[in-house]
Structure 1
Amino acid sequence: MIYFDNAATTKPFPEVLDAFLKVNDIYYANPSSIHSFGGRVEKLISTSRKQIASILNINDKEVIFTSGGTESNNLAIKGAALLYRNRGKHIITTKIEHPSVSNTMKQLESIGYSVTCLDVNEAGVVDPEDVEKAIRPDTILVSIMHVNNEVGSVQPVKKIGSLLKKHSKILFHVDGVQAFGKIPVSLLDHHIDLYSISAHKIHGLKGAGMLYVRDGVILSPILSGGEQEGNIRSGTENTGGIVSFSKAMRLYQEESRDSLNEMKDIQRYLRVQLEKMRGVTVHTPHAGSAPHILNFSIEDFKSEVVVHALDQHEIYVSTTSACSSKKSKPSQTLLTMGVGENLADRAIRVSLSFQNTMQEAERFVRILKQETAQLEKIMRRSR
């Protein structure tokens, strides 16, 4: 099997699974309980929080545990919009955000907020000057992803953060779900107020994640309850998920140090081979892209046809975002980048992990050429 769909989800590390099982087997008490058993569980969460804070070089009080990227994005955007609505109701974002951001914006628009969705260039990158031009007196939030989940374009979050520093009443949220461990970020130096991370994108478990909330930033909770997580995110903590999340972050950071260059080599090899193939257009930009995503189209074949052909060889790739891939419509990200509808409807995404190998990439290219040649024969016969 060749699994090239790691932007959708990753295989959990064995150590992560072991940690999850051990915590749920032995440390199953409610961390809010006042007895000593609950206290030991609470200490596990506190230790995990400190470990994650150390990795991100932030204060442990700035780590708010959530159920994953979607909740983190919703909490950041809605939490800011609701709390600061008396200051203003204008939000700035881009046209290529993940559905957990774009659909949240639509929901806010339906209740009276104004949202400016910025274009990106042909490389899928927003211009910081466009962000600055879009700022209004009633702007309260800018939300821009760090790495695009479909094409891998990296947004200039440092430049955007620097320009927003001049606007002290505007919060800056970054969806970092596809970035952690692959693209360096300094939350403090980049002047980021809110940053989302998801465990299952880094070989952790689904159902765990976090939102970095800069010290001094206040959000309106979107879940009301027992006042956990500093009263920002109520609900009994997912202790096993949290402990295994911190372990996944540590292991992923180590793998990144050891294997990032190899991942770049594999991506480079795939790009070179794909660009040699007839009718193939690679959409992921040459420069300034994340090392784990490569998006391309084969002009003669719908993406679903190619995905299913590869599936027969146990090679697994995807079309657009996994959250949108079952919808029969062209990629909004590619259309916004200026890609024609015909090619946007034929997009295929290969996404790597540090566990993928060059041998897998070579086999993928060989099978892809074999299958497209077979599909071309079928097409010629049917004419």
Structure 2
Amino acid sequence: MNAPSVQFRDVPESEIARALALAYLVFHENPGSAQRRRHEKLLAGCLRIGAYDGAELVGFAAAHPFALSVPGGGELSCPGLTFVSVAPTHRRRGVLTGMIRELFARCADQGAPLVALWASEASIYGRFGFGPGTYGTTVEIDARRPLALRIAPDPRPLRLVDPEAAPEVLGPYFEGTRAHRAGRLARTRDWWREEWLLEKDEEDEEFSPARVVALGEPLAGYAIYRTKPGDAASQAGGQVRVDELEADSPRVAAALWAYLAGIDLTDRVRAWGRPLDDPLPLFAQDRDQVRVTEEFPALWVRLVDVRAALAARSWAAPVDVVLAVRDARLPANDGTFRLTASPDGFSYAPAAQAPDLSLEVRDLASAFLGAVTVHALVAAGLVVEHTPGAAPMLDAALSVGSLPHTADAF
């Protein structure tokens, strides 16, 4: 239950600094003035929801006005939830629940069928109907020797791109990837500059400014990376941190990885947030040299309007199933519905028949972009298959080429 004295309303721009002070308190942060100014600029363009106990701001949540790519090359309005903060004096009093409820209402008003976030605590957001919509991996390369490959790298020359010009050079190329991979956020010029190409890395100032290497004309692939010098005292070599790598083909990717692993005075390449179907581990000659060290849920997705979300994606094969969807937060999504879809048509309407599959809205969200199969959810005991064959039929319809992938953390 909400505390009776707590009310939820917009946070005006004049109170952004106050909202940030609450967020820094909750996340135990004390950023410098440059990072504070950047956060203020980001929040000025966001939806801002506050929980007020009288005049005191005791809760805050912001949402970026994102658009997310969905299977089939389309995109949907998808606010990106961030800076979610509840004052330590008001925990377990319904403040977070009230802010999420307010956000869902705003989404309905704005016609946004989805909400997404990166979860600081994964155990929290499942109860609000969020499920992992994309997954990522961390890959490390032992760069003390040349990268051994099973395929020949693309022979075209590489070139360094001035970071000042990078949004114009890379932006159209990245936008093209969104038609082939679901889960990608549209990027503005400011987002490129403020999130990808900052002069100074805010988490580790030992890293160099962002570097950009590109291959092909017209562009066939690129990598954004930073370098860090070694430590003579510990005899640790320098490091290359790969923030993003996109390529038209495995050979282009091989050329970029070989370049990154061959940078002088470094002995390790680390790439966080790579897609699960990244071809690098497959075309590496020596898997002791290229290791996947971590796999994790990345972007969490919430279907605010199940029908509108399903209608916006493509369907790889015909499907006709009755779904019993459980949604404790949004009654319009809760119930039994017949889903009839194919590459040529779509229908999703209330049904009186017995369900073929029973599932929670959070698990439907995980399957929506193609990150998780319904069969896997059945095997995990999270989805009940009442009609044999219903899960593989729905999986065939939900099938995607490239797995969904998100590298834009927020």
TM-score normalised by the chain length of structure 2: 0.26
> Would you tell me which structure has more helix in proportion to its own residues?
1
Over alpha carbons, which structure has the higher Rg?
2
Higher relative contact order at CA 8 Å, sep ≥6: structure 1 or structure 2?
1
TM-score normalised by the chain length of structure 1: 0.27
> Would you tell me which structure has more strand in proportion to its own residues?
2
